[in-house]
Protein backbone atom coordinates (compact mmCIF):
# COMPACT_ATOMS: atom_id res chain seq x y z
CA UNK A 1 0.00 0.00 0.00
CA UNK A 2 1.29 3.45 -0.94
CA UNK A 3 -0.13 6.14 1.33
CA UNK A 4 0.67 9.58 2.71
CA UNK A 5 0.47 10.25 6.44
CA UNK A 6 0.61 13.74 7.95
CA UNK A 7 2.57 13.97 11.21
CA UNK A 8 1.70 16.91 13.48
CA UNK A 9 4.07 16.70 16.48
CA UNK A 10 2.75 19.85 18.21
CA UNK A 11 3.98 20.92 21.65
CA UNK A 12 5.55 19.60 24.85
CA UNK A 13 6.12 15.84 24.72
CA UNK A 14 4.29 15.71 21.34
CA UNK A 15 7.48 15.62 19.21
CA UNK A 16 9.08 13.01 21.50
CA UNK A 17 6.21 10.56 21.12
CA UNK A 18 5.59 11.15 17.39
CA UNK A 19 9.28 10.44 16.71
CA UNK A 20 8.73 6.94 18.12
CA UNK A 21 5.60 6.57 15.99
CA UNK A 22 7.52 7.47 12.83
CA UNK A 23 10.10 4.83 13.61
CA UNK A 24 7.33 2.29 14.14
CA UNK A 25 5.65 3.21 10.85
CA UNK A 26 8.97 2.69 9.07
CA UNK A 27 9.28 -0.75 10.67
CA UNK A 28 5.74 -1.70 9.60
CA UNK A 29 6.44 -0.56 6.05
CA UNK A 30 9.56 -2.72 6.06
CA UNK A 31 7.95 -5.83 7.51
CA UNK A 32 4.74 -5.71 5.48
CA UNK A 33 6.04 -4.17 2.26
CA UNK A 34 4.19 -0.83 2.25
CA UNK A 35 5.25 2.66 1.31
CA UNK A 36 4.32 5.29 3.88
CA UNK A 37 5.26 8.85 2.98
CA UNK A 38 5.39 10.92 6.16
CA UNK A 39 5.11 14.71 6.01
CA UNK A 40 5.30 17.11 8.93
CA UNK A 41 2.98 20.03 9.68
CA UNK A 42 2.75 22.68 12.39
CA UNK A 43 -0.11 22.83 14.89
CA UNK A 44 -0.77 24.35 18.31
CA UNK A 45 1.60 26.56 20.25
CA UNK A 46 4.58 25.99 17.97
CA UNK A 47 2.41 27.01 15.00
CA UNK A 48 1.41 30.20 16.85
CA UNK A 49 5.06 31.00 17.51
CA UNK A 50 6.14 30.34 13.93
CA UNK A 51 3.15 31.58 11.93
CA UNK A 52 0.85 33.50 14.30
CA UNK A 53 -2.03 31.02 14.04
CA UNK A 54 -2.61 27.61 15.71
CA UNK A 55 -3.74 25.89 12.48
CA UNK A 56 -1.88 27.30 9.45
CA UNK A 57 -3.49 26.81 6.01
CA UNK A 58 -0.47 24.77 4.95
CA UNK A 59 -1.15 22.26 7.74
CA UNK A 60 -4.79 21.94 6.82
CA UNK A 61 -3.91 21.44 3.16
CA UNK A 62 -1.32 18.82 4.07
CA UNK A 63 -3.92 16.93 6.12
CA UNK A 64 -6.54 17.17 3.39
CA UNK A 65 -4.10 15.68 0.88
CA UNK A 66 -3.09 12.88 3.25
CA UNK A 67 -4.76 9.53 3.91
CA UNK A 68 -4.49 9.93 7.69
CA UNK A 69 -3.10 12.28 10.33
CA UNK A 70 -1.06 11.45 13.44
CA UNK A 71 -0.95 14.15 16.12
CA UNK A 72 1.22 14.45 19.25
CA UNK A 73 -0.25 17.04 21.61
CA UNK A 74 -0.93 20.77 21.75
CA UNK A 75 -0.64 23.41 24.48
CA UNK A 76 1.76 24.56 27.15
CA UNK A 77 2.20 27.15 29.89
CA UNK A 78 3.58 29.82 27.54
CA UNK A 79 0.24 29.90 25.67
CA UNK A 80 -1.99 29.18 28.67
CA UNK A 81 -3.94 32.43 29.05
CA UNK A 82 -7.55 31.32 28.39
CA UNK A 83 -8.46 34.91 27.49
CA UNK A 84 -5.82 35.14 24.72
CA UNK A 85 -7.13 35.71 21.18
CA UNK A 86 -5.14 32.79 19.76
CA UNK A 87 -4.70 29.56 21.73
CA UNK A 88 -3.15 26.19 20.83
CA UNK A 89 -6.40 24.30 21.50
CA UNK A 90 -8.04 26.22 18.64
CA UNK A 91 -5.72 24.29 16.34
CA UNK A 92 -7.04 20.97 17.58
CA UNK A 93 -10.70 22.00 17.55
CA UNK A 94 -10.18 23.63 14.15
CA UNK A 95 -8.69 20.57 12.51
CA UNK A 96 -11.37 18.25 13.93
CA UNK A 97 -14.06 20.50 12.49
CA UNK A 98 -12.34 21.22 9.18
CA UNK A 99 -11.75 17.53 8.47
CA UNK A 100 -15.27 16.58 9.60
CA UNK A 101 -13.97 14.17 12.26
CA UNK A 102 -17.23 13.67 14.16
CA UNK A 103 -16.55 10.27 15.72
CA UNK A 104 -13.94 10.13 18.46
CA UNK A 105 -13.16 6.55 19.51
CA UNK A 106 -11.42 6.15 22.86
CA UNK A 107 -10.88 2.51 23.79
CA UNK A 108 -10.03 1.71 27.42
CA UNK A 109 -8.39 -1.63 28.09
CA UNK A 110 -6.17 -2.69 30.92
CA UNK A 111 -3.06 -4.77 30.63
CA UNK A 112 -2.97 -7.23 33.57
CA UNK A 113 0.62 -6.23 34.29
CA UNK A 114 -0.38 -2.58 34.73
CA UNK A 115 -3.27 -3.03 37.14
CA UNK A 116 -1.04 -1.85 39.97
CA UNK A 117 -0.78 1.63 38.43
CA UNK A 118 -4.54 2.26 38.58
CA UNK A 119 -5.95 3.92 41.71
CA UNK A 120 -8.74 1.31 41.62
CA UNK A 121 -8.41 -2.08 43.30
CA UNK A 122 -7.43 -4.87 40.84
CA UNK A 123 -10.64 -6.85 41.45
CA UNK A 124 -12.68 -3.89 40.17
CA UNK A 125 -10.59 -3.80 36.98
CA UNK A 126 -10.99 -7.44 36.05
CA UNK A 127 -12.56 -7.64 32.58
CA UNK A 128 -12.55 -3.91 31.80
CA UNK A 129 -12.70 -3.47 28.02
CA UNK A 130 -14.74 -0.49 26.87
CA UNK A 131 -14.95 1.85 23.94
CA UNK A 132 -16.12 5.41 24.52
CA UNK A 133 -17.45 7.02 21.36
CA UNK A 134 -17.49 10.79 21.81
CA UNK A 135 -19.29 13.10 19.38
CA UNK A 136 -16.53 15.51 18.38
CA UNK A 137 -17.73 18.30 16.10
CA UNK A 138 -20.97 19.52 17.68
CA UNK A 139 -22.58 20.51 20.95
CA UNK A 140 -21.40 23.13 23.39
CA UNK A 141 -17.86 23.08 22.00
CA UNK A 142 -18.96 24.56 18.70
CA UNK A 143 -22.16 26.47 19.52
CA UNK A 144 -22.30 30.25 19.47
CA UNK A 145 -20.28 31.86 22.26
CA UNK A 146 -21.21 35.24 23.68
CA UNK A 147 -19.89 37.51 26.35
CA UNK A 148 -21.33 40.91 27.14
CA UNK A 149 -21.06 43.64 29.69
CA UNK A 150 -24.18 45.21 31.16
CA UNK A 151 -24.73 47.78 33.90
CA UNK A 152 -25.16 44.80 36.29
CA UNK A 153 -21.81 43.25 35.31
CA UNK A 154 -20.88 40.69 32.68
CA UNK A 155 -22.70 37.65 31.32
CA UNK A 156 -21.61 34.86 29.02
CA UNK A 157 -23.26 31.96 27.20
CA UNK A 158 -22.23 28.84 25.24
CA UNK A 159 -24.90 27.40 23.02
CA UNK A 160 -25.28 23.60 23.02
CA UNK A 161 -26.94 22.52 19.79
CA UNK A 162 -27.37 19.09 18.19
CA UNK A 163 -29.25 18.02 15.10
CA UNK A 164 -30.98 14.69 14.53
CA UNK A 165 -28.51 13.93 11.72
CA UNK A 166 -25.49 14.52 13.97
CA UNK A 167 -26.95 12.17 16.58
CA UNK A 168 -27.90 9.44 14.11
CA UNK A 169 -24.50 9.25 12.41
CA UNK A 170 -22.56 8.89 15.68
CA UNK A 171 -25.04 6.36 17.07
CA UNK A 172 -24.62 4.25 13.92
CA UNK A 173 -20.82 4.28 14.32
CA UNK A 174 -21.22 3.26 17.97
CA UNK A 175 -23.80 0.52 17.41
CA UNK A 176 -21.74 -0.95 14.57
CA UNK A 177 -18.73 -1.02 16.89
CA UNK A 178 -20.85 -2.73 19.57
CA UNK A 179 -21.80 -5.43 17.07
CA UNK A 180 -18.14 -6.34 16.60
CA UNK A 181 -17.56 -6.39 20.38
CA UNK A 182 -19.84 -7.63 23.21
CA UNK A 183 -23.00 -6.26 21.62
CA UNK A 184 -23.96 -3.63 24.21
CA UNK A 185 -24.43 0.13 23.84
CA UNK A 186 -24.93 2.69 26.62
CA UNK A 187 -26.15 6.17 25.73
CA UNK A 188 -24.94 8.68 28.32
CA UNK A 189 -26.91 11.92 28.58
CA UNK A 190 -28.59 14.33 30.99
CA UNK A 191 -32.12 13.84 29.71
CA UNK A 192 -33.65 14.78 33.07
CA UNK A 193 -32.44 18.36 32.54
CA UNK A 194 -31.23 19.13 29.00
CA UNK A 195 -33.35 19.42 25.87
CA UNK A 196 -30.39 18.36 23.70
CA UNK A 197 -30.15 15.18 25.80
CA UNK A 198 -33.87 14.49 25.28
CA UNK A 199 -33.27 14.77 21.53
CA UNK A 200 -30.34 12.33 21.80
CA UNK A 201 -32.43 9.93 23.83
CA UNK A 202 -35.50 9.83 21.63
CA UNK A 203 -33.63 9.48 18.32
CA UNK A 204 -31.12 6.99 19.69
CA UNK A 205 -33.83 4.81 21.22
CA UNK A 206 -35.82 4.78 17.97
CA UNK A 207 -32.78 4.16 15.77
CA UNK A 208 -31.59 1.30 17.97
CA UNK A 209 -34.99 -0.37 17.78
CA UNK A 210 -35.22 0.07 14.02
CA UNK A 211 -31.67 -0.68 12.90
CA UNK A 212 -29.89 -2.50 15.73
CA UNK A 213 -32.43 -4.70 17.53
CA UNK A 214 -29.63 -7.24 18.06
CA UNK A 215 -27.57 -4.77 20.14
CA UNK A 216 -28.43 -4.53 23.84
CA UNK A 217 -29.23 -0.87 24.52
CA UNK A 218 -29.44 1.13 27.73
CA UNK A 219 -29.46 4.80 28.72
CA UNK A 220 -27.63 6.32 31.68
CA UNK A 221 -27.47 9.81 33.15
CA UNK A 222 -24.00 11.30 33.01
CA UNK A 223 -23.64 11.80 36.77
CA UNK A 224 -24.58 8.18 37.40
CA UNK A 225 -22.16 7.12 34.66
CA UNK A 226 -19.33 8.97 36.38
CA UNK A 227 -20.04 6.84 39.44
CA UNK A 228 -20.55 3.51 37.65
CA UNK A 229 -17.26 3.93 35.76
CA UNK A 230 -15.57 3.50 39.13
CA UNK A 231 -18.08 1.12 40.73
CA UNK A 232 -18.53 -1.46 37.97
CA UNK A 233 -16.37 -0.49 34.97
CA UNK A 234 -16.32 -4.01 33.51
CA UNK A 235 -20.06 -3.78 32.75
CA UNK A 236 -19.52 -1.21 29.99
CA UNK A 237 -18.97 -2.24 26.38
CA UNK A 238 -19.59 0.75 24.10
CA UNK A 239 -20.57 4.16 25.49
CA UNK A 240 -21.85 6.87 23.14
CA UNK A 241 -22.16 10.44 24.31
CA UNK A 242 -22.04 14.10 23.36
CA UNK A 243 -18.88 16.16 23.03
CA UNK A 244 -18.45 17.60 26.51
CA UNK A 245 -19.64 14.57 28.50
CA UNK A 246 -17.24 12.47 26.43
CA UNK A 247 -14.36 14.82 27.17
CA UNK A 248 -14.91 14.54 30.91
CA UNK A 249 -15.75 10.84 31.13
CA UNK A 250 -12.74 9.75 29.07
CA UNK A 251 -10.29 11.48 31.39
CA UNK A 252 -11.98 9.64 34.24
CA UNK A 253 -11.96 6.33 32.36
CA UNK A 254 -8.26 6.73 31.55
CA UNK A 255 -7.49 6.30 35.23
CA UNK A 256 -8.84 2.76 35.05
CA UNK A 257 -5.89 1.98 32.78
CA UNK A 258 -3.54 3.50 35.31
CA UNK A 259 -1.96 6.13 33.09
CA UNK A 260 -3.13 8.48 30.39
CA UNK A 261 0.14 7.46 28.74
CA UNK A 262 -1.45 4.17 27.66
CA UNK A 263 -4.58 5.32 25.86
CA UNK A 264 -4.89 5.99 22.13
CA UNK A 265 -7.72 7.65 20.23
CA UNK A 266 -9.09 7.81 16.72
CA UNK A 267 -11.22 10.60 15.26
CA UNK A 268 -13.05 9.55 12.11
CA UNK A 269 -14.98 11.30 9.39
CA UNK A 270 -17.54 9.87 7.00
CA UNK A 271 -16.42 6.73 5.17
CA UNK A 272 -16.64 7.42 1.43
CA UNK A 273 -18.36 4.60 -0.44
CA UNK A 274 -15.90 2.30 -2.22
CA UNK A 275 -12.78 4.12 -0.93
CA UNK A 276 -9.87 2.03 0.38
CA UNK A 277 -8.84 4.63 2.95
CA UNK A 278 -10.87 6.70 5.41
CA UNK A 279 -9.70 10.06 6.73
CA UNK A 280 -8.90 9.97 10.40
CA UNK A 281 -6.83 11.78 12.98
CA UNK A 282 -5.04 9.71 15.61
CA UNK A 283 -3.66 11.03 18.87
CA UNK A 284 -2.77 9.88 22.36
CA UNK A 285 -5.41 11.09 24.82
CA UNK A 286 -2.77 12.58 27.10
CA UNK A 287 -1.79 16.21 26.63
CA UNK A 288 1.53 17.95 26.07
CA UNK A 289 2.76 17.27 29.66
CA UNK A 290 5.01 20.37 29.85
CA UNK A 291 6.34 19.24 33.24
CA UNK A 292 8.26 16.35 31.65
CA UNK A 293 8.76 17.71 28.11
CA UNK A 294 12.27 17.40 26.70
CA UNK A 295 13.37 14.89 29.33
CA UNK A 296 12.83 11.67 27.37
CA UNK A 297 10.49 10.33 30.08
CA UNK A 298 7.16 10.37 28.25
CA UNK A 299 5.35 7.08 27.70
CA UNK A 300 5.17 6.60 23.90
CA UNK A 301 2.71 3.69 24.06
CA UNK A 302 -0.48 5.75 23.72
CA UNK A 303 0.92 7.16 20.48
CA UNK A 304 2.13 3.77 19.23
CA UNK A 305 -1.30 2.31 19.97
CA UNK A 306 -2.76 5.27 18.06
CA UNK A 307 -0.65 4.11 15.09
CA UNK A 308 -2.41 0.74 15.42
CA UNK A 309 -5.78 2.50 15.22
CA UNK A 310 -4.57 4.47 12.19
CA UNK A 311 -3.62 1.23 10.42
CA UNK A 312 -6.95 -0.37 11.34
CA UNK A 313 -9.44 2.42 10.69
CA UNK A 314 -7.88 4.64 8.03
CA UNK A 315 -5.87 2.09 6.03
CA UNK A 316 -7.86 -1.08 6.76
CA UNK A 317 -4.60 -2.91 7.59
CA UNK A 318 -5.92 -5.18 10.35
CA UNK A 319 -2.95 -7.59 10.44
CA UNK A 320 -0.53 -4.68 10.77
CA UNK A 321 -2.64 -3.09 13.51
CA UNK A 322 -2.75 -6.34 15.46
CA UNK A 323 1.02 -6.75 15.05
CA UNK A 324 1.57 -3.34 16.65
CA UNK A 325 -0.75 -4.17 19.55
CA UNK A 326 1.02 -7.48 20.11
CA UNK A 327 4.43 -5.77 20.02
CA UNK A 328 3.21 -3.33 22.70
CA UNK A 329 1.94 -6.23 24.83
CA UNK A 330 5.26 -8.04 24.44
CA UNK A 331 7.18 -4.92 25.46
CA UNK A 332 5.05 -4.55 28.60
CA UNK A 333 5.49 -8.23 29.36
CA UNK A 334 9.27 -7.80 29.03
CA UNK A 335 9.07 -5.07 31.69
CA UNK A 336 10.26 -2.29 29.42
CA UNK A 337 8.14 0.59 30.68
CA UNK A 338 8.32 4.31 31.46
CA UNK A 339 7.98 5.66 34.99
CA UNK A 340 4.24 6.38 34.82
CA UNK A 341 3.41 2.66 34.70
CA UNK A 342 6.40 1.11 36.46
CA UNK A 343 5.72 -0.87 39.64
CA UNK A 344 7.53 0.05 42.85
CA UNK A 345 11.18 -0.91 42.48
CA UNK A 346 10.81 -1.82 38.78
CA UNK A 347 13.45 -0.52 36.39
CA UNK A 348 12.31 2.59 34.51
CA UNK A 349 13.09 3.10 30.81
CA UNK A 350 12.99 6.25 28.69
CA UNK A 351 10.75 7.15 25.74
CA UNK A 352 13.26 6.04 23.11
CA UNK A 353 14.08 2.74 24.84
CA UNK A 354 10.39 1.81 25.01
CA UNK A 355 9.85 2.87 21.38
CA UNK A 356 12.88 0.84 20.24
CA UNK A 357 11.67 -2.21 22.18
CA UNK A 358 8.29 -2.10 20.42
CA UNK A 359 10.02 -1.92 17.02
CA UNK A 360 12.26 -4.86 17.93
CA UNK A 361 9.26 -6.92 19.01
CA UNK A 362 7.45 -6.05 15.80
CA UNK A 363 10.36 -7.05 13.58
CA UNK A 364 11.10 -10.18 15.62
CA UNK A 365 7.54 -11.51 15.56
C1 LIG B 1 -9.32 16.29 24.47
C2 LIG B 1 -8.82 17.61 24.99
C3 LIG B 1 -9.36 18.73 24.11
C4 LIG B 1 -10.86 18.68 24.18
C5 LIG B 1 -8.82 20.13 24.48
C6 LIG B 1 -7.31 20.17 24.43
C7 LIG B 1 -9.42 21.18 23.60
O8 LIG B 1 -9.19 17.77 26.32
O9 LIG B 1 -9.00 15.95 23.31
O10 LIG B 1 -10.02 15.60 25.19
O11 LIG B 1 -11.47 19.23 25.11
O12 LIG B 1 -11.46 18.10 23.29
MG1 LIG C 1 -10.09 16.07 27.18
Distance CA 6, CA 38 (A): 6
Work out the percent of the chain whose per-residue pLDDT is above 70. Answer: 100
User: CA of 127: how far to CAs of 113, 115, 145, 235, 322, in Å?
Assistant: 13, 11, 42, 8, 20
**Residue pair 88/75 in contact by the 8 Å Cβ criterion:** yes
Distance CA 107, CA 299 (A): 17
Q: Find the mean pLDDT for residues 279-297.
A: 96
307: exposed, middle or buried (C-beta count within 10 Å: 0-12, 13-18, 19+)? buried
Our answer on whether the CB atom of 176 is closer than 6 Å to any ligand 1 atom is no
The helices-and-strands tally (H runs, E runs) of the chain is 12, 12
Nearest Cα to Cα of residue 320 among 68, 45, 149: 68
Between the CA of 65 and the centroid of ligand 2 the distance, in Å, is 27
Q: Give the ligand 1 atom nearest the CA of 136.
A: 12
Nearest CA to ligand 1 atom 6: 89
The length of the chain is: 365
Nearest CA to ligand 1 atom 8: 247
Q: Given a cut of 90, is residue 223 above it in pLDDT?
A: yes
Between the CA of 137 and the centroid of ligand 2 the distance, in Å, is 14
Between the CA of 229 and the centroid of ligand 1 the distance, in Å, is 20
Nearest Cα to Cα of residue 21 among 45, 32, 3, 5: 5
Q: Give the ligand 1 atom nearest the CA of 88.
A: 6
CA atoms within a 13 Å half-sphere pointing along the CA-CB vector of 7: 22
Residue 151 confidence (pLDDT)? 97
Topology of the domain covering 119-256: Isopropylmalate Dehydrogenase (3.40.718)
Between the CA of 247 and the centroid of ligand 1 the distance, in Å, is 6
3-state helix, strand, coil in the chain (%, to 5): 45, 20, 35
Catalytic residues: 141, 190, 223, 247, 251
Nearest CA to ligand 1 atom 5: 89
Q: Find the mean pLDDT for residues 260-264.
A: 92
Our answer on whether the CB atom of 251 is closer than 6 Å to any ligand 1 atom is no
> Which superfamily does 1-102+260-365 belong to?
Isopropylmalate Dehydrogenase (3.40.718.10)
Q: Give the ligand 1 atom nearest the CA of 283.
A: 9
Can you say whether residue 100 is alpha, beta or left, with left for phi > 0 and alpha for psi between -120 and 50 degrees? left
The 10 Å Cβ neighbour count of residue 33 is 8
Nearest Cα to Cα of residue 104 among 348, 285, 330, 276: 285
Our answer on whether the CB atom of 71 is closer than 6 Å to any ligand 1 atom is no
pLDDT classification of 260: cutoffs 50, 70, 90:
confident
Nearest CA to ligand 1 atom 9: 285
The 10 Å Cβ neighbour count of residue 355 is 25
pLDDT classification of 211: cutoffs 50, 70, 90:
very high
**Residue pair 242/189 in contact by the 8 Å Cβ criterion:** yes
pLDDT tens-digit profile of 63-116? 999 999 999 999 999 998 988 999 999 999 999 999 999 999 999 999 888 888
Our answer on whether the CB atom of 266 is closer than 6 Å to any ligand 1 atom is no
DSSP 3-state assignment of 188? strand
Domain 1-102+260-365 identical in fold to domain 119-256:
yes
Our answer on whether the CB atom of 108 is closer than 6 Å to any ligand 1 atom is no
Q: Find the mean pLDDT for residues 286-313.
A: 97
Domain positions in the chain are 1-102+260-365, 119-256
Our answer on whether the CB atom of 293 is closer than 6 Å to any ligand 1 atom is no
DSSP 3-state assignment of 138? coil
Our answer on whether the CB atom of 25 is closer than 6 Å to any ligand 1 atom is no
pLDDT classification of 180: cutoffs 50, 70, 90:
very high
Please choose from 93, 108, 248 the residue to mutate so as to test ligand 1's pocket, defined by most ligand atoms within 8 A of CB. 93
- Residue 116 CA, distance from chain mean position: 23
Our answer on whether the CB atom of 89 is closer than 6 Å to any ligand 1 atom is yes
Q: What is the DSSP string of 3-67?
A: EEEEEEEESTTHHHHHHHHHHHHHHHHHHHT-EEEEEE---THHHHHHHSSSS-HHHHHHHHHSS
Q: Chain-wide mean pLDDT for the chain? A: 96
Amino acid sequence: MDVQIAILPGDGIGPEVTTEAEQLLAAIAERFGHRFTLQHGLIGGIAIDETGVPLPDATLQLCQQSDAVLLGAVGGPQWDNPNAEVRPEQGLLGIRKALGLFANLRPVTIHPLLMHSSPLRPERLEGVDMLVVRELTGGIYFGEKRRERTTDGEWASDLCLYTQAEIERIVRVSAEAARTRRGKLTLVDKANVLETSRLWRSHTTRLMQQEFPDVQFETMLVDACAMHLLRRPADFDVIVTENMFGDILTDEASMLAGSMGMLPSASLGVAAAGATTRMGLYEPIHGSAPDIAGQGKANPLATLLSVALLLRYSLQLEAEATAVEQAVQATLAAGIVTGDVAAAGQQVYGTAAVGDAVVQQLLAA
